Amino acid sequence: MILSKKLRHISPKRRRTLTITAISGLFVVLVAVYTFWSMNTWSSYKTTYESWQKELQVSVDAAMALPGTTSAERAKKLTAFKNVSGTITSAQQSLCHTPVIIAWQHVIVGLRQHEEACAQTISKADTFGKKMQMTTSYLESEQTVAMTIEKTLAASQDKVTEATWNSQVTTWQDADKAIGKMSSGATFAPVKASALEKVKVLESTWQELLAAHAAKDKTKYTEAQSNLTIAYAALGSLSTVSAGQLAPLTTALQSAYAQLFSLKT
């Protein structure tokens, strides 16, 4: 109240001067605060994508280092690969976003370089993510075939007697159908074809054994037994076929990895 009375005694000209001074001072403060906040935001922008890249490398290294010998190990590795792909997809939507209030500042060369570096990081991550998705898709198909054959082998080798020979034919027919109807990419097609060929041989050889047994043809029965041993052993060659098809995918993935994390190839 006392202050209001004092202000009434100030001349209009003096009052305008004080008002302008106050507004100017406030403007200077706001500019200083905005500048400080802008620089902090840009610094955080740079730190964020660099930290994300380092964290991604840790996740990728951990996923690629996981063993993949058993079905359980392959399943765990696949989950880790999928998690990495999800991380990359999520980052594409938000990592390089610049707040609207400072977006205009990218005309400044030094700040524009941060945006360009982030965009390059995301672009390389996208390439790596696509290569990883291709590898993941391949490994999923490989796991499906492996689990089908493992399940069929377990069933066909568990207490096999003359009374269960008919079920062996059915078991391998089921495996034939399961592998035949599965969807897979072009890279896995040769592995799928090889698996189907070997499964069909086992299916037909068991039928030959049954026919020879029913006809009491010892020669053909002995021959069928021998062929069964060969047919079962041939399943092992699937790993060689698969390794050959997987190799180019692995090479492409490693190359994309080196590009993303700036390693020399």
CA angle 127, 130, 131 (to 5 degrees): 90
Alpha-carbon separation of residue 188 from 123, 140, 247, 252 (angstroms): 27, 10, 12, 16
- Give residue 92's pLDDT: 73
- Give residue 227's pLDDT: 94
Where exactly are the structural domains of the chain?
13-260
For the CA atoms of 202, 208, 211, 215, what is the dihedral angle to 10 degrees?
-140
- Distance CA(85)–CA(79), nearest Å, equals 10
- Give residue 23's pLDDT: 56
- Give residue 241's pLDDT: 93
Alpha-carbon separation of residue 137 from 79, 184, 230, 248 (angstroms): 12, 8, 31, 14
- Give residue 244's pLDDT: 92
What is the number of residues in the chain?
A: 265
pTM, to two decimals: 0.74
Q: How many CB atoms lie within 10 A of CB 121?
A: 21
Residues of the chain with pLDDT under 50: 1-3, 26-34, 36-37, 109, 264-265
Query: 15-54 burial, b for 16+ CB within 10 Å, e for fewer?
Result: eeeeeeeeeeeeeeeeeeeeeeeeeebbeebbeebeebbe
- Distance CA(17)–CA(23), nearest Å, equals 10
- Give residue 216's pLDDT: 92
